[in-house]
Structure 1
Amino acid sequence: HGTDNSATLDALARDPQRLRGVAVIPSGLPEAEIADMHRRGMRGCRMSTVVSGGASFDHLERLSAETFDLGWHLVLHFNRASELVDVAARLERIRSPFVLDHMARIGGAEGVESLPFKVLMSLLDTDRCYVKLASLYRLSALPYPHPDMMPMIERVVEARPDRVIWGSNWPHPICPVPIPNDGDLVDLIPLWLPDAQAQHLALVETPAALYGFDADVAA
């Protein structure tokens, strides 16, 4: 849909207490238009090098400035892990919180000694970096339960359990591997997040804060 957010806004209107959204917008929108999206449940904006027709990282600083006062976060969707290295210095300078979608696309074969992973770990020190554990089945070189991803997940969760969120990646768009069983993905949660506190942070507290849910909704 490119920068047409009407389908997402329509979905948000159906249950505004329970739903939040991430918009795809170009920089330069009128302030009132962004404020209206916020009123209707949007809480972030996404930039991607995977799909065309949306917002690229060329918009990073401007979108950060235009949405910061509303408390929005930026979602970064990389095509290659090396792109994280390319934009790291810029991420350190912006004020907005940002989510590295799909764990910045770092593959199991790259691992904890790779430059992209070292950059990811350094960005966690900014306090504004969040890592989404989602779509890791695409990044693994090994079959379920994808043990080659575990060393990276363990390091991230150990370092900053308060900066981890989880996603199923349903409905698994542009999927180059067999579509996973979503129940199997849910079964990975206690493997990736081995204690109740880490699970509550990733599944409840951190997304509730990031997406602006009220405390009673997050309880």
Structure 2
Amino acid sequence: MTIAYTNTIASDLFPNGGWDVHHHIFDPKKFTYAPDRHLTPPPATIPQFLVFKSRLGITNSVLTHGLSYGADCTSLKSFVAELNTTAPATRGVGVIDPSTVTGDELSAMHAAGVRGIRVNLYKYQAMHDVESQKTALREHARAIRGHIDAKRWSLAFTHTHPEFWGELSPIVEEVLVPAGIALVTDHFALLKGGSMLNINSENGKVDVTQQPGFREILELVCAGHLYIKLSAPYRVSSLAPGYEDLRPVVRAFVEANPERILWGSDWPHTPHMKVRTREEALRETEYLVVDDLAWLKSLRSWLSTEEWHLMMVSNPKTLYGW
């Protein structure tokens, strides 16, 4: 299996370094996938990622545990350790079973470079069920609450229903905020660009601000309660490679709170989130081909130098404890 790359080095994009806060490593020869996985990805190994990282000019990264490995973070700890031998600037975000994880296990993960937890909604069968999502948030918060005061762990929570955020906001404000747990959501919170919407304003143009969940998400960002990863634009826009229709979404996020915006590549570009049948989950699914450099250049043109530095350097440095 071949992973496609752009050919131009983008070193001018990162004069002060660049943090990719959402990528994966899949190496099934070293670590077997979980039998109840929701997706079977092809290998996407550390040497392949280092080529990708070098070609874009990325300096730091946050390895997000692939859900195909389930709640066993053995692979994550090994991958983070290996990445740090060649480029000592890698953190990890793990997956746990909140009903069984122990404080000792969380401490071992922290010592290995893990700085956050990812909620696996597939495990809860909760991708389309807001009540189950509330349960998942509460259980993960309870599992890590006593172990993150001095460690600054975050909780990554992503689903396909932006309209749920109105019901989820009280959980964020009543459970996570008092516990000091930073909440992060991936892929634009799955808010869509105009190319994937049918909402028109008075002048006949698509008004992205009118889509369900937009206001509630911006309120959480504005209050400092939610970090947004500008990752995987191909999940929310059909206008590759520059995804120009995402500009108003990006500007709304940044203007709400520039200190809560992050960037992630989602390398090696796994397909769209969906609930798969057992047969689909066990069948190897190819990655998407993405022009990451074109997307980065487009994104850079929408932001000031200060906003770009916050997103690419300062915000991830603060959140993931560099």
TM-score, reference length from structure 2: 0.60
Given the alignment of the two structures, is residue 7 of structure 1 paired with residue 75 of structure 2, yes or no?
Answer: yes
| 1:188 shift after superposition | 2.5
Aligned to 2:209: 112
- Do the aligned residues in 2 keep the contact of 1:168 with 1:185 (CA within 8 Å)? no
Aligned to 2:319: 210
CA distance in 2, matches of 1:143, 1:12: 31
Q: Which SS does the other structure have where 2:307 is aligned? A: helix
CA distance in 1, matches of 2:191, 2:299: 19
CA distance in 1, matches of 2:307, 2:80: 28
- Deviation string 1:127-159 (CA, Å, 9 cap, x unpaired) is 231111011222114343222221111111122
The letter for the 1-side match of 2:73 is: N
CA distance in 2, matches of 1:53, 1:172: 24
Aligned to 1:101: 186
Unmatched tracts of structure 1, length 5 or more: 214-219
Aligned to 1:195: 304
Aligned to 1:47: 119
How many residue pairs match? The answer is: 211
- Deviation string 1:95-144 (CA, Å, 9 cap, x unpaired) is 21111211111112262122311011111233231111011222114343
Distance 1:125 1:158, change over 3 A: closer
Given the alignment of the two structures, is residue 180 of structure 1 paired with residue 290 of structure 2, yes or no?
Answer: yes
From 148, 152, 166, the equivalent of 2:263 is: 166
Unmatched tracts of structure 2, length 5 or more: 1-68, 127-131, 200-207, 274-286
| 1:34 shift after superposition | 0.5
From 86, 99, 108, the equivalent of 1:36 is: 108
- Do the aligned residues in 2 keep the contact of 1:26 with 1:59 (CA within 8 Å)? no
- Do the aligned residues in 2 keep the contact of 1:3 with 1:54 (CA within 8 Å)? no
- Deviation string 1:69-113 (CA, Å, 9 cap, x unpaired) is 232111112123223333222112222111121111111226212
- Do the aligned residues in 2 keep the contact of 1:48 with 1:78 (CA within 8 Å)? no
- Do the aligned residues in 2 keep the contact of 1:47 with 1:76 (CA within 8 Å)? yes
Distance 1:125 1:186, change over 3 A: closer
The letter for the 1-side match of 2:92 is: G
| 1:178 shift after superposition | 4.9
Higher helix share: 1
Aligned to 1:216: none
CA distance in 2, matches of 1:90, 1:27: 17
CA distance in 2, matches of 1:54, 1:9: 26
Structure number, greater radius of gyration: 2
| 1:54 shift after superposition | 9.7
Larger mean CA deviation between 85-94 and 201-210 belongs to: 85-94
Instruction: State percent identity of aligned pairs.
Output: 27
